[in-house]
């Protein structure tokens, strides 16, 4: 008997042996009302080409339900569909071997494709077919499920900057070993690692250009070598906004954001997935922006397109990776007090703060707190969500 869907593997086989008796036929007739003389009257059956009683085809097929309901997958199985072909008649006294084999698993819908077969005592094929079975889960089973063995190791891309540094500090304070990724500011990344280490946390700095193929794999391998695995990925790296009107905006400006924000996140996620799916756990948090949901900021097109693509990637991967136990969420900061807004006039910053219900700009620590929640056990049933950290400037 299988205790959960995860225990079932493609190729698993379960069988049942049953010898068909006169009592079996009698009870089937009483239950169904099918008293076709071919099945119950030896005199009539002798006048047919079969020359003897033929057991109801569905009587033999009904034992497929026994295998499905008690053996494969067992309790909680819901027989959704079945096609079958009857190859030869079953006679009274035949010893049948009824079997089901798993051909394919559909993780998201908890469905199994099964091959169904019945053979007789001579090894002759009596019935063949394909079934689709859904494996239900009860509330009691969900509550009794063991806690996932999440690795408390986090990779933060762009992990030494304003928001990235705050995220790295917060995750370290929450007990995670932290891989601080950086592209060019080695001094800043190593200073942060020294700070975290001085506070008793485990941390390393790893350099890498996310636009270069193979970089993501190198970062993840460094995490595995240093800390044994990866449980949390925060895709925070992003180029400077570099606001430009469309007349001077070049495709290379657009491509720069797509390469770092979208391709970089994509490659990092793929590199981390084997670690996360192995334990059927993992937290992916992508840093998007208020610009995805709020009013457009004129000339921020390339930045906004990159963030929007990242937000869409997050939603689709949340749906795809959910059955593997991996959550994918976004944190969308509003205007945040970092060097990223250094080119925005102070007057504009003050105006945004006044328009915000909480009357201030967000801080890197505000963003880090949201990331820490989505990376925690408390957010284990949150996926495909965007947590806005903008003081109420945009609401949904």
Question: Of the residues 44, 182, 303, 316, which is catalytic?
Answer: 303
Q: Crossing angle of helices 265-278/301-321, nearest 10°? A: 20
DSSP, res 5:
G
For residue 153, give the H/E element and its range. Answer: strand 153-156
Phi, psi for 203 (deg, rounded to 5): -160, 150
For residue 296, give the H/E element and its range. Answer: none
Closest CA to 168 of 225, 116, 206, 137: 206
**Distance (Å, rounded) from C-alpha 227 to C-alpha 176?**
10
Phi, psi for 219 (deg, rounded to 5): -65, -45
Q: Find tokens 């657009």 and name the residue.
A: 254
Q: Verify cis geometry, omega within 30 degrees of 0, for the bond prior to 73.
A: yes
Angle at 223 between CA 218 and CA 224, to 5 degrees: 95
Residue 303 annotated as catalytic: yes
**Cβ-contact 306, 238 below 8 angstroms:** yes
Catalytically active residues are: 303
């Amino acid at each position: 008997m299988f205790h959960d869907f995860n225990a079932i593997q493609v190729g698993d086989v379960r069988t049942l042996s049953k010898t068909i008796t006169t009592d079996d036929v009698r009870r089937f007739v009483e239950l169904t009302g099918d008293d076709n003389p071919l099945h119950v009257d030896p005199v009539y059956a002798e006048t047919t080409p079969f020359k003897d009683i033929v057991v109801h085809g569905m009587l033999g097929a009904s034992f497929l339900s026994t295998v499905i309901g008690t053996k494969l997958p067992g309790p909680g199985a819901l027989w959704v569909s079945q096609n079958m072909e009857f190859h030869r008649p079953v006679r009274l006294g035949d010893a049948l071997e009824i079997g089901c084999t798993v051909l394919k698993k559909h993780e998201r819908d908890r469905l199994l494709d099964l091959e169904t077969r019945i053979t007789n005592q001579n090894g002759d094929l009596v019935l063949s077919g394909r079934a689709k079975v859904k494996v239900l889960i009860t509330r009691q089973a969900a509550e009794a499920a063991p806690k996932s063995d999440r690795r408390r190791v986090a990779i933060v891309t762009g992990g030494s900057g304003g928001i990235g540094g705050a995220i790295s500090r917060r995750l370290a304070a929450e007990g995670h070993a932290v891989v601080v990724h950086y592209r060019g500011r080695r001094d800043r990344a190593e200073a942060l690692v020294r700070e975290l280490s001085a506070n008793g946390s485990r941390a390393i700095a790893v350099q890498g250009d996310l636009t270069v193929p193979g970089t993501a794999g190198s970062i993840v391998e460094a995490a595995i070598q240093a800390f044994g695995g990866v449980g949390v990925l925060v895709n925070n790296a992003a180029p400077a906004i570099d606001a430009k009107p469309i007349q001077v905006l070049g495709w290379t400006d657009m491509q720069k954001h797509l390469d770092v924000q979208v391709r970089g996140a994509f490659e990092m996620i793929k590199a981390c997935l084997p670690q996360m799916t192995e334990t059927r756990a993992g937290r992916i948090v992508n840093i998007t922006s208020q610009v995805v949901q709020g009013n457009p900021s004129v000339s921020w097109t390339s930045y906004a397109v990159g963030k929007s693509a990242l937000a869409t990637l997050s939603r689709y991967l949340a749906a795809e990776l959910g059955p593997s136990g991996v959550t994918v969420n976004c944190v969308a900061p509003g205007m945040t007090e970092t060097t990223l807004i250094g080119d925005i006039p102070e007057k504009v910053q003050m105006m945004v703060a006044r328009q915000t219900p909480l009357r201030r700009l967000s801080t890197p620590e505000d963003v880090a707190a949201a990331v820490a929640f989505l990376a925690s056990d408390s957010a284990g049933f949150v996926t495909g969500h965007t947590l806005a950290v903008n003081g109420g400037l945009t609401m949904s």
